Amino acid sequence: MADRQHGHVTREQLLALGLSARAIAARIRAGKLIRVHAGVYAVGAPRRTALAKAAAAVLACGPEAALSRESALALWGLRTWPATHEVTAPTEKRRPGITSHRSETLAGDTRIRHGIRTTNPVRTIIDIAPRRTDRQLVRLVQDARLKKHLNATQLQRLLLRCPRLQPLIDPTQNPTRSKLEDDFVAWIKKHKLPMPRINTKLNGKEVDALYEAERLIVELDGWPYHSGRVAFASDHQRDSDHRTFGFDTVRYTGEQLTDVEAANLRRRLSRSSAC
């Protein structure tokens, strides 16, 4: 049982297994059970991994508790582990070193991941939304999509349950891959420009944005992915390859997403449409 729970058992579980209160006390005195939280013990030696600490925090808050908010994001690989774990349960239990929350609507919103009960990605994003700016929330949702934590059905469910996201996320578009791409989409919306297809394939290669009818590609040159001589040569070879199929490419850095460039792009799209 302890192995399934990252090295931990609860007092209730030990009693259910047939150990008496006296037998539990004897094992505590002998150092075979080491108290981690009230009613939660490490078997043998405490494990120091983030997963072990998270599992112990959930066990400390009751059988229906689930890792939530910042800690759930970490379990889903969407942020680093926080210093203090957060747990949600139908009945709030205050435990030193744990931030607990009470919710009567937890049923149906939990999953088991790495052996730990946690809120599912939809519920986790809903719970964390008040702590994030729009820009941060968009990036969080897109990262969850990229990691395959949100399929099309789950994304639609998220948008229905979190109306704030509805004007920010287009479920018909592929997920963006960076903050620069998020800024580009916001820039397009701000200037009421036609929305291109995001991260789509053309001639067997993925492009950042595509105006297919206007035969125009938009590539976004973030420093981490487009710096250096090799990347420069590769980018220009891709542009040349696309030109052979009749597609021009325009490239933007984050600093170029300006009002002036928006007007230039509008004129360019208008000329292409006229042709």
Distance between CA atoms of 263 and 250, rounded to whole angstroms?
Answer: 14
Is the predicted pLDDT of residue 179 greater than 90, yes or no?
Answer: yes
Is the predicted pLDDT of residue 224 greater than 60, yes or no?
Answer: no
Average pLDDT over residues 81-99: 93
Mind listing the pLDDT tens digit for each residue in 47-89?
A: 999 999 999 999 999 999 999 999 999 999 999 999 999 999 9
Q: What is the per-residue pLDDT for 229?
A: 56
Q: What is the per-residue pLDDT for 225?
A: 54
Q: What is the per-residue pLDDT for 235?
A: 74
Mind listing the pLDDT tens digit for each residue in 233-263?
A: 677 788 888 999 999 999 999 999 999 999 9
- % of the chain surpassing 70 pLDDT: 95
Q: Are 59 and 71 in contact (CB under 8 A)?
A: no
Average pLDDT over residues 33-38: 96
- Give the residue from 198, 15, 7 showing the smallest Cα distance to 116: 7
Is the predicted pLDDT of residue 102 greater than 90, yes or no?
Answer: yes
Tell the residue number behind the tokens 């690989």, with chain if given. 77
- Burial of 129: CB neighbours in 10 Å, binned 0-12, 13-18, 19+: middle
- Read off the pTM: 0.89
Lowest model confidence (mean pLDDT) among 32-36, 194-198, 227-231:
227-231
Q: What is the per-residue pLDDT for 213?
A: 95
Distance between CA atoms of 229 and 8, rounded to whole angstroms?
Answer: 52
- % of the chain surpassing 90 pLDDT: 87
Is the predicted pLDDT of residue 131 greater than 90, yes or no?
Answer: yes
- Which domains are assigned to the chain? 1-47 (no CATH), 50-172 (no CATH), 179-274 (3.40.960.10)
Please give the mean pLDDT across all residues of the chain: 94
Average pLDDT over residues 116-135: 98
Distance between CA atoms of 34 and 40, rounded to whole angstroms?
Answer: 8
CA 90-95-100 angle, to 5 degrees, is 40
Q: What is the per-residue pLDDT for 233?
A: 65
Average pLDDT over residues 159-181: 97
Q: What is the per-residue pLDDT for 234?
A: 72
231 pLDDT band, cuts 50/70/90, is low
CA 145-151-154 angle, to 5 degrees, is 105
208 pLDDT band, cuts 50/70/90, is very high
